[in-house]
Amino acid sequence: MTLDLSNGGQVAVSDLGRVAVLLGGTSAEREISLMSGGGVLAALQALGVEAIGFDPAERDLADLKREGVARCFIALHGRHGEDGTVQGALELLGIAYTGSGVMASAVAMDKVMTKRLWLAEGLPTPRHVWLEPGVLQDESVANRLRCVAAELGLPLIVKPPREGSSIGVTKVTREGDVDQQLLDAVTLATRYDADVLCEEFIAGEEVTCPVLGEGASARALPVVRIRAPEGAYDYQNKYFTDSVTYQCPSGLPEAEEREIQRLAVASYRALGCRGWGRADLMIRASDRKPFLLEMNTSPGMTSHSLVPMSARAMGLPYDQLCLLIASQARLDAVPRRTAPAA
C-alpha cells in the first residue's frame, strides 16, 4: 500500500518495516506519553503498518533488535526519551528513529543551553538568570533571589530547565510575600532539576508553531494561538480540561504569522533539529514582539496536542502526519564504509 502525503511525497507502508512506538517511559510526563503513543500506534496500525507499542520503563531496549524492529517512532516526552539518551541507545543498536538526533535532543531539552544558543544566533528569547545546583544550601540564598527579582522584574517565571508540560513551573507576582514566593518556587523547581531557570515574564499572547523537515528543507506549519483561562496554560489545562481554546488558523495579521514561522524555523535550525519539532513563543502585548520560549523535539500527539491541530489546518490528517514522521526516521551515524582493497 502506498499513500500520497500532502506536501510529503509518497510513502510505501511496506517499506517502513516493523515500527515500534516508544511510549510511557520514566519521566514526569509518562502519563502524557502513554496518551501520545497510544494515538500514534492506533493511527499507524489503521494504515496497515506493522506497528507495536514499546514501553522502555517495562522492557529492555535491546528487545527492539531481537524483535526485528526496523525503526522507532519516539512518542516519549521528557527525560530518558526526549533528551538524547534513548536516541543514543538507538544509535548504538543501529535502529532508525524519528525526530532530532542525540545532540539536538539533548540541547533542546535543556532550556538554559537552548537560550545560550539562540542568543548567540541573535534570536529573541526572554531575559533569564540561571541558578546553579545547590543554590538552596547557599547561606545568601534570600539575597540571591532578591537580586534575581530586581534584575528580571516582577512578575517572573521560575522553572526546572529540563522538564516539559509546565511541570514545576511557578509565576512569581508582586502579590503577598515575594521573598517567600521565590523561595517556594525555587524549592518546587529543584524537585525536578538540580539547577533552576528564572525567566522574565512576557505579558501577551502564547502561540506555538510546528516545524517539519531538516536543514534548508525545514518548513513551518500554521501557527496555533492559545487562549487559557486567566493565562494559566498549565499541566492540567493542557491535557485534562476543555477550558483552553485554540485558534488555527491563528487569525494573527499575516506579517506576524510569517515572522513567528520564520523564528520557529530559525530556532529549529540553530539547534540542529530534524524530522519534526514545535517552537513555543510569546507575543509581547506592548509592542507585538515575539519571544522564543522553548523547542519541543518530541511534541505531544494527544487529542489536545497542537502539532496535529496545525497539520490538519494545512490538510494533513493525523494518521498521515504519523506516517510522514515515521517515514523520516533515520540515524545520526554515517554507515562505515569498507576500505577499498589495496
User: How far is it, in rounded angstroms, from Cα 243 to Cα 236?
Assistant: 10
Query: In whole angstroms, what separates CA 279 from the centre of its chain?
Result: 7
Catalytic member of 275, 300, 319, 327: 300
Active site residue 278: yes
Active site residue 300: yes
Catalytic member of 27, 33, 165, 310: 165
Catalytic member of 237, 267, 296, 305: 296
Cell 491541530 belongs to 309
User: How far is it, in rounded angstroms, from Cα 282 to Cα 205?
Assistant: 6
Catalytic member of 97, 192, 233, 239: 239
Between the alpha carbon of residue 167 and those of residues 31, 185, 233, 234, 275, the distances in Å are 13, 12, 11, 8, 25
Catalytic member of 82, 110, 205, 280: 280
What does the block give as the cell for 180? 517567600
Which of 78, 123, 100, 116 has its CA nearest to residue 281?
123
Work out the number of other CB atoms within 10 angstroms of the CB of residue 261. Answer: 19
Beta bridge partners of 10: 4
What does the block give as the cell for 92? 548504538
User: How far is it, in rounded angstroms, from Cα 27 to Cα 109?
Assistant: 13
Interstrand relation of 274-284 and 204-214 (parallel, antiparallel or unpaired): antiparallel
User: How far is it, in rounded angstroms, from Cα 74 to Cα 97?
Assistant: 7
- The one-letter code for the residue type at 74 is I
Catalytic member of 225, 267, 278, 327: 278
The CA-based angle 230-193-56, given to 5 degrees, is 100
Catalytic member of 8, 29, 225, 257: 29
Active site residue 215: no
Active site residue 280: yes
Please enumerate in sequence order all residues whose Cβ is within 8 A of that of 333, keeping only pairs 6 or more positions apart, or say none: 91
Q: Which strands sit side by side in the sheet containing 71-74, from one edge to the other?
A: 51-54, 19-22, 71-74, 96-97
Active site residue 165: yes
Active site residue 269: no
Helix extents (H) in the chain: 30-46, 62-66, 85-93, 102-109, 111-120, 141-152, 178-189, 235-239, 254-270, 306-313, 318-327
Q: What residues act catalytically? A: 29, 165, 239, 278, 280, 294, 296, 300
